[in-house]
Chain A
Amino acid sequence: MNVQRQRSDTWGRRAELTSQNSFLGSVDEAFILRIAFLFSGQFALYEGFQDWNRGRADIHPEVAVLTLTIYGVSLFIIAMSLMPSKFVLRFRDLPLLPFALATVTSLYVVAAIAYKGAYRTDVLAYSHYAALLFAGQGTNPYVTDMAKALSMFAVQPSDLTPLMSGTYLTTFQYPALHFLVFVPFVWLGLQDMRWVLVLFEIGVVLVLYLRGPRNLKPMLLIPLFAGSDLMINFTAASVSDALWVLPLVFTALYVEKPVHAGVFYGLACAMKQTPWVLAPFLLIYMLRTTDNRDLHDRLLRVVKFTATSVALFVVANLPFLIASPNAWFRNVMTPLAEDLVILSQGPSLLTQVGLLPVGRMFYTVLAVAVAVVLMVNYYVYFDHLKYALWIFPGIILWFSYRALTNYIIYWTPLILVSLILWYEAEHAKVAHSG
């Protein structure tokens, strides 16, 4: 009888504790949501003000409507952060609205008004031109001079890539998917390929949002919008990195499945060279993440991942590789081999401004040394560094002689995926031990 009463008391206390925890959980959740509401409202206010400044509403009345809408939505969302918890919890997805509205409006104002018809990087001009040539006449862009694209898309001299000789790069320097991805949109008649970049960007946000833990969802997006550069300014300025980020996000999500991960990693590598830096770390991950299995199984995972990655990469590039292997290799290796001027937000800035008289090779040696150190340490301390691999390329590229912000900032969505997976793994561990 006593035992029965004791059991009953214990269950009662547990239920009470669970209820308390649940209540505290929802209090925390509501608080996190309030912060997310406030942040997204403030972000949209900031962008609304920028658009008001640069949007020439006097001759573009739609900008006036959009600006008013942004301000209205921002105020509403900020006010929502001060509403009772049940409202905040019920409308938990609302912070997406100001983020999306501000992003699309700002991109529209910059791309279609401030820089209408003008790309602000030679990269996108060359890629769009290559897609036009390929879609029209099946021209191989690796053997074609791209200079005509500069006047076609009104690229300013300051947005070109200068060489040490004073001349400029006028070749297509990326793997084939970087222009093939635009070909369907050329056929559809799209005039401005920045909207394709926006589509990829939206894809990244949606995947992260849908895949994120429910209780942390709006909060999860805050690192993406901590400044305007990642989601707005760089894409509006025709920086094309969103193209490789989306397939790499899927690589990160499917990292435990070597074939799936290999497919997406191959796609990412066929878009641009930046994800190539990740390869050794992904191989170490494949090898070490299943330490409990025998070596044969682990090596098989590595082989599956490598084979599918290489296969996808080759499939995308094969026609051009066969047609003109020398031109393809020379162009795609341009970032490594060509005589580009030092341009950096990394340590090589010291040389760029004349404070440290060393050659570009110094920074290449430094970047390789950092890469080797990171690989060795990642392998040795894998148990501690398992989820850290997504920042390693950013660190390595920061030491190179062309350490540009987009080489670092675009790893943020990948780091977020890693954090989600880590969070889920920790939860699973707690649930398993409980």
Chain B
Amino acid sequence: MNVRRLTAPLSVVFLILIAGLAFAYLQARSEYPPAILDPQFDLWVEDPEPGGDKPLVWELEYVKSAGDQVVLQKTELSGKQALEIQIVQDGVDEAWSYVYLKQMIDGMRLRALFSGYLGVWIFSEASCECRKTSQSESTVFGVETNDGTHTLTYIFAPEVTGPQQFLGHRTVYLRTEGGQWTYHWMDMAGEYARAQWHHPERVTFSIVVGVSGSTAGSHAAYVHGFTTDAKATPEPLQHRTPGRAPYSSAFSEGSSANDQWAVRLCPQSSHSDALNVKSAWQVIMV
């Protein structure tokens, strides 16, 4: 009889206790969903338009002349699985060819993107001696976010300058040596703050590769994958460099931690090639 009388109220007490204890012990930093979907480019589907395959989750867009070719494929390069974005430029006209791999980010995924650092492993073409002086003029490789009003662009380039901003477009250069894997961190929220832009409700996130019409031949850019793990952020360095805006940081495979700080602490001075890259990029945006 007592059992029947006590079971219901004790159940309520039990549930409140468990919920309270669980809340006390299992509170966590918000578990954000992944900012970037399919960050390692695992899912591929057949793409009837250009022929071949394309990543399922990433939306593919390209601008090219009739004779140019765009090839996406999963490959292995220097020990890393990678997405290869290849543009075969026929060089018949001066028009640039571009490839965009895009996905829309909003809600909690956008919050995840803006509450941590976005990391990316990339591999860009090595400059060959014959076009050493103009490599950055002829190809563009980077990522960008576009919220409909503002465009934030990161350009992976061998020579860099400080961030540049014009109206609703901010460009950040990330020093990237060609011919080797390089890891970059990108601080989207920081750049938005420095640009004095409000956080957006949604952004289109894109990987962009472009090749000028004057550079005939095959050009490839590689992305191993994205990470949004805030723990990868070089936090101690930020404390050691007061007053310096952490535009980005990077290190190459085989470089030490000090090397990467050095890269970040020594942004390159303005360089004509880098500016050329920027102007080329603005063409893309238009």
Complex contact A167–B19 (CB within 8 A): no
Q: Is A165 an interface residue (CB 8 A)?
A: yes
* A293–chain B nearest beta-carbon distance, Å: 21
Q: Is the CB of B33 within 8 A of A369?
A: no
* Given A162-B33, A168-B38, A366-B22: A377 and B11 interface contact (C-beta under 8 Å): yes
Q: Given the complex of chains A and B, what is the CA–CA distance between A342 and B15 in angstroms?
A: 22
- The stretch from A185-193, A352-360, A426-434 touching chain B is A352-360
Interface size on B, residues (CB 8 A): 37
When chains A and B are docked, how far (Å) is the Cα of A150 from the Cα of B19?
39
Evaluate contact between B56 and A354: CB separation under 8 angstroms: no
Contact (Cβ within 8 A) A357 B38: no
* Residue ID in chain A nearest B34 by CB atoms: A166
Q: A352-B108, A377-B11 are in contact. Are A358 and B38 (CB under 8 A)?
A: no
Inter-subunit contact A359/B28 (CB<8 Å): yes
Q: Using known A-B contacts A150-B45, A353-B108, determine if residue A376 contacts B7 with beta carbons closer than 8 Å.
A: yes
Q: Is B197 an interface residue (CB 8 A)?
A: no
Asked if residues B34 and A341 are in contact (CB atoms below 8 Å), the reply is yes
Is B56 a contact partner of A151 (Cβ separation < 8 A)? yes
Bound CA–CA A170/B30 (angstroms) = 26
Residue-wise interface mask of B (15-53) relative to A, using a CB-CB cutoff of 8 A (1 in contact, 0 not): 100110011001111110111111110111110000000
Q: Is A299 an interface residue (CB 8 A)?
A: no
Residues of B within 8 Å of A206, CB to CB, are none
Assembled-state Cα–Cα distance A352/B31 (Å) = 8
Contact partner of B7 among A147, A167, A342, A377, CB < 8 A? Answer: A377
By a CB distance below 8 angstroms, the chain B residues around A341 are 33-34
CB closest chain-B residue, reference A155: B56
Q: Nearest B residue to A360 by beta-carbon distance?
A: B31
Question: Contact check: which of B4, B33, B38, B43 meets A380 at CB < 8 Å?
Answer: B4
Annotate A153-178 by CB proximity to B: 1 below 8 A, 0 otherwise: 00001001011111110100000000
A170 adjacent to B43 (CB under 8 Å): yes
| Inter-chain contact A366/B19, CB cutoff 8 Å | yes
Complex contact A147–B22 (CB within 8 A):
no
Q: Is B111 located at the chain interface by the 8 A CB criterion?
A: yes
A369 touches B18 (CB 8 A): yes
Q: Is the CB of A357 within 8 A of B43?
A: no
Residues on A with C-beta less than 8 A from B22 are: 358, 361-362, 365-366, 369
Whole-angstrom distance between the alpha carbons of A316 and B18 in the complex?
Answer: 38
**Does B66 make an interface contact (CB < 8 A)?**
no
For the complex, give the distance between the alpha carbons of A2 and B23 in Å. 80
Interface residue A351 (Cβ < 8 Å from any Cβ of B): yes
Interfacial chain B residues near A150, Cβ < 8 Å? 43, 45, 56
- Docked pose: A341 CA to B22 CA in angstroms: 20
Residues of the A chain whose Cβ atoms lie less than 8 Å from the Cβ of B26: 358-359, 361-362, 365
Bound complex: CA A357 to CA B26 (Å): 9
Report if B57 contacts A (CB, 8 A). yes
A370 contacts partner chain B, Cβ-Cβ < 8 Å: yes
Closest approach, in angstroms, between the C-beta of B114 and any C-beta of chain A? 12
**Interchain CA distance A381-B30 in the complex, whole Å:** 39
Interface footprint category on A? 35 or more
**What separation, in Å, do the CA atoms of A422 and B210 have in the docked complex?**
71
Q: Judge if B62 is at the interface, Cβ distance under 8 Å.
A: no
Once A168-B43, A362-B22, A362-B23 are accepted as A-B contacts, the answer to whether A342 and B34 lie under 8 Å apart by CB is: no
Residues A358 and B45 in contact in the complex (CB < 8 Å), given A164-B34, A366-B19, A377-B7 = no
Identity of the chain A residue whose Cβ is nearest the Cβ of B228 in the assembled complex:
A166
Known interface pairs A362-B22, A369-B19. Does A166 touch B38 (Cβ–Cβ under 8 Å)? yes
Given A359-B26, A366-B18, A369-B14: A164 and B7 interface contact (C-beta under 8 Å): no
Q: Within 8 Å CB of A362, what residues of B?
A: 22-23, 26-27
A147 to B4, Cβ gap below 8 A? no
CB within 8 Å for A357 and B27 given contacts A366-B19, A380-B4: yes
Q: Would you call A354 and B111 a contact (CB within 8 A)?
A: yes
Q: Indicate whether B286 reaches chain A with its CB closer than 8 angstroms.
A: no
Task: Quote the shortest CB–CB distance from B30 to chain A (angstroms).
Answer: 5
Q: How far is the CB of B210 from chain A (nearest CB, A)?
A: 25
Q: How far is the CA of A170 from the CA of B57 in the complex (A)?
A: 13
Contacts of A168 in B (CB 8 A): 38, 42-43, 57
- Whether A354 and B30, one on each chain, are in contact in the complex, defined by CB atoms closer than 8 angstroms, is yes
B residues near A163, Cβ cutoff 8 Å: 34
A359 to B24, CA, bound (A): 11
Cβ–Cβ < 8 Å partners of B39 in chain A = 165-167
Instruction: Give Cα A373 to B13, complex, Å.
Output: 10
Q: Contacts of B107 on A, CB cut-off 8 Å?
A: 353
Q: How far is the CB of A229 from chain B (nearest CB, A)?
A: 23
Instruction: Report how far A82 CA is from B47 CA in the complex, Å.
Output: 57
Name A279-312 residues within 8 Å CB distance of B. none
Residues of A within 8 A of B4 (CB): 380-381
Interface residues of A in 366-388 (CB under 8 A from B): 366, 369-370, 372-373, 376-377, 380-381
Q: Separation in Å of the A401 CB from the closest CB of chain B?
A: 9
B10 to chain A, nearest CB (A): 9
Residues of chain B within 8 A (CB-CB) of A359 are 26-28, 31
CB distance from B128 to the nearest CB of A (A): 35
B130 within 8 A of A: no
Once bound together, how far apart are the Cα atoms of A167 and B44, in whole Å? 12
Which residues of chain B are within 8 angstroms of A369 by Cβ–Cβ distance?
14-15, 18-19, 22
Nearest-neighbour CB distance to chain A for B268, whole angstroms, equals: 32
Q: How far is the CA of A166 from the CA of B205 in the complex (A)?
A: 15
B3 within 8 A of A: yes
A341 and B31 alpha carbons, distance in the complex (Å): 9
A400 to chain B, nearest CB (A): 13
CB distance from B32 to the nearest CB of A (A): 8
B36 partner, pick from A160, A166, A381, beta carbons under 8 A: A166
Please provide the 9 A-B residue pairs with the shortest distance between their CB atoms, ordered closest to farther.
Answer: A166-B34, A151-B45, A359-B28, A369-B18, A362-B26, A166-B39, A365-B22, A157-B57, A380-B7
A-B contact pairs, 29 of them (CB 8 A): A147-B42, A150-B45, A150-B56, A162-B33, A162-B37, A165-B34, A166-B34, A166-B37, A166-B40, A166-B226, A167-B40, A167-B42, A168-B38, A170-B43, A357-B28, A358-B22, A358-B23, A358-B26, A359-B27, A360-B31, A365-B26, A369-B15, A369-B18, A369-B19, A373-B11, A373-B14, A377-B7, A380-B4, A381-B8
A residues at B contact (CB < 8 Å): 147, 150-151, 157, 160, 162-168, 170, 341-342, 351-354, 357-362, 365-366, 369-370, 372-373, 376-377, 380-381
7 A-B pairs besides A150-B45, A360-B31, A362-B27 with CB distance below 8 A are: A147-B44, A166-B37, A341-B34, A357-B30, A369-B19, A380-B3, A381-B8
